[in-house]
Structure 1
Amino acid sequence: MLVNKIIITKIKSLLEAATKAKLKSKFIYKKILDEFTKFNKPIISKTQIKNIPNVGTKTLELLCEHIETELKKVTNNLEDLEKYKLFFQVKDYNELKEKFLESEKKNFEESENKKYVEISHFDEDFFISDITGSDIEMVTIDFKKDCLSFSQPNPNLNEDYKVKANKVKLVEDKKNFNNIKNSPLAKKKQLKKYIPGYKTGPYAILKALWLENGISKHKIIQIAKNYSTTEFDLTSRNSAWSGMKTLIDKNFVYKESGSKKYFITEEGLTTANKLFFDTSIIKNTDTEVTLLIDSREIKNRNFRSFFQGYFENTGVNFETRQLEVGDFAWIQNEMICDFIVERKCGSDFVSSITDGRYKEQKNRLRDTGITNIYYLVENLKISDFKNISYETGCQSLTTTKLEGMTVIETDDIKESATVIENIHNRVKNVQDGNYKMSYGSFIEKGSKNKNMSVNKMLFYAFSGIYGINNEKARLLTEHFKTFKNFYTISLSKNLRTELVNSGINLSKRNIDDIIHFMCKDTSN
């Protein structure tokens, strides 16, 4: 609760200053102070502060700057640094990490030297000058001959020999220690332990495998790209994926022989637990629900993301990630909650019906396994219906409702944001371990063509044609089996006859549309 105390102390000082100056801001500071006083969870991130009611952008910046300053004074080791690293600037974090690693290295060397602390109390030069060559030779011969071990001296040896033997032994021990200490093996052991830099490629990859172990390269990238400031551009030499080689070299990750899957090692898991536990992810203790916003979900290209700005002002806890399916989803402890939203503006909704995306996207939403699917249509106007009738659009929405999805129509983007906020509050109220899958599995399921069989691709092709429902698409897929069979028949000019005689209840309009969209009427 250290950060909580720092914040409360700072707010009290701001409140006192505002009261003395008779500023109106004193009322805001009083409200903020009350909120932080009631807040009974340890604050570990800036997002938690941002979500406190009445904390604006300027107050947030002021508090974060003060917290970092105070934490620098009390952070004395690597463990504390990792615990509070979300409050540090990346540059400051890396500098402090280097400092603590050097300190750990120094402590290690000092602990090794303590093993020979007795030696350091003797004057080696005194030993050498006090013992002549003949003495050493005599002591060596007689000592080895007459003693079972250094710890069991022969009682018959006179005291001078025993003293000189001890001196020679200590000198030799110290020389042996220095030789061992300077050996390549010892130097290798003294090297500082590797820790990936914050938000680097290795950091992101390690976090992806920590979240979901034993996954493919594609899946690692899908998860890791959300935790790295470097792009996973496989065409670039400086791609974040090059960090995988570093992790393998450091024995943090290994690739299973004969497989395309990567696994985290025991050493890598130990480091990952230190890096990620109690920081950005707190398993089984972090009850905060986070709204995920698709990074492509923006109002227009000339302004920053509309929804991000809206939710920042309303205090909704959110993150921006590129979602493979849907436009909004919710996450808790890196587990996907049972809610998802697909948002369509009116004109895009109409065009998706004509080009087949409408059904394809609905199928992908269902394939995630999420139960509560919201289909949000924004600013739908009569003028949007150019290629299809208004009745057809209404029928499509009705069909979507009958399929178990919740259809919501809004007038503008602001009303859409309000609806999302209401859903967010509902998720927070009902969410209690009701997870569908991990975030990594969600990304994998959402990928359009991941492990999609030829049979399923043919099904989606048929179902994307207007007038072809799922049942007709299934029967057509069973009839033709593959694209190759379909196009072989179409090239033989017998496609229309084949469709008529297929036994499937297809209208003339259905047959015409199949021929038009699938093969541009090559059968005529």
Structure 2
Amino acid sequence: MPAVEHVRLGRKRTLPPCPNPLFLQWLSELRDQAAEKGQKTQYVYQKAISSLKKYPLPLQNAREAKILQNFGDGICKILDEKLQRHYRENGPDAPIHSLPSGVTVAPSRRSNNNLAQPTKQPSRKEREGGRRKREYVPQKRSGGYAVLLTLYRESQVPGGKGFMFKLELQAEAQHLSDKSFSVPDLGSKYTAWSSVSTLIQKDLVQKTHNPARYSLTELGLALAQRLEDGEREQEEDRRSDVREEEEGSGPGVVDLTAEEDEKKKRIEPIAGPTPAAYVAQRGSEVPGVNSSEKPQAAETKTRPAGGCLYPGSYDIVLCVDFIETTGGSTACKQELVKELQRNGVTFDVRKLNVGDFLWVAKERVAPVSGQLRAPPSRELVLDYIIERKRMDDLCGSIIDGRFREQKFRLKRCGLQKPIYLVEECGSAAAHLSLPETTLQQAIVNTQVVDGFFVKRVQDVKESVAYLTVMTRYLTKLYQNRTLVCRSRELEGDGQNEEECGGREREDPSCSLISFPEFNQGAVKNKCQTVREVFARQLMQISGLSGDKAVAILEHYSTLHSLLKAYEQCPSDTEREKLLSSIRYGKLKRNLGPALSRTVYQLYCTKGALS
């Protein structure tokens, strides 16, 4: 019989250690830092660690790691930067396949893998009482740093409101951050504002109300106070350094470049009036600028945080909703673009959350040398917005209820001059689901009852001709006007038609909304208040228009207040007539008993409505 082979019992053979412990240590540090900040990149680093542990050969640089799974350009670039820093600190011949002294290899806490990963030697405090969690402190000149400092300074203002709105906070914090709060860096989708979610998660900032209000928590207040103290110390050090330089320079120091600068100023040609020169000439007409100020002071006013645009510093641009150029009848929508180009109209296709066409005053921004893209331009929305309707679209919107809802949203969008552009399309209305008389009556009601300006045209060419004429008219109307940015969030919708409409010919300045705020406020499915939901419910009742809903809301702002008023009525007859005497619209007509009875039956009838 053949000899029985002895079976070796015991533990599994241990795998050899990773031949690239330095790269493994750096990846572990990156993973732990991402985990502390709550970033999802921690999982990417963990996958890269697993791949590196399985690779049996030593790597000379991070570029060679691209052959491994889960190693992309970003991770390789970070590792190469750390490798170059390692060579600078330890010399060009520093070993990279062994750990520096004082660093040992410990089992990974995040993986059940038996492979080891390098960690730093724990200190005595960590051995005795466990590892202490490091306090989160935002990096200097980062978005979180700027937000904390701005909210702290706002909280120290005597009589302040104790909170800040989003747009107000972004405007005040921008000068404290190196990154933009509104425009992401090239190749990234994150802005400085993205760090606010981390501050809320760390319980440093709290977000309440709608529109959102941001304020500091107790932890955030303590951290922001330390950051502010550090800012003051650095400012004092900077001033003392400047003072020492001035004292050390003495009267004997002569600037040899001053004469050359004077010659350059004499030689440089003067290329027409700049916005700063305009402010210096017309300082008394621009709010916040005194005519007695020096030209240097006027130059600082050319781009204030509030967002003024002075004559000659902006262009009037037509904005076209992308739905008007894509989908549907391709031939008609291509014809729209071609006609605009043929007429020489400056237009921009973008997503509009309300309306089909509007105009913006777009700031002229010169490209900066050394940068691929020019800085972002500020855009203020003019008070004119157009909703375009073909007869077939009008018919469909009346049937599915979009027509009333669109008019309601146009009235609440914050622009004072809404326009309905109706394309009658000849005899096409005779073949639609609704009679032509019904469609014509809807158009008349839009103009007479709802107060919209209605422009009737025959086809796409006439629509483009009207847009061209309006663009040229607005360009001429606003060419000598100073445009001031206002915020609906801070000031409400109190800018009535007299401010930007009735006094347009007398007042050279105009108060307008920025395009990001306008478009964000017009989102169809945004978070709504109880009052807005109640208004939408009322408008679903047949015969109850937007004006009638607004009149009811003036007396009963929520459904709860209306039901409470019904409970106080002694009889059903009085409940049915509760809303009948409410006046609505310009003519101040009563709602009437029929509509009042319908509302009462809707909210107070138990069971199914008959």
TM-score bin (small chain): 0.3 to 0.5
TM-score (norm 1): 0.43
Structure possessing the higher relative contact order (Cα contacts under 8 Å, 6 or more residues apart): 1
Question: Which structure's residues are more often helix, by fraction?
Answer: 1
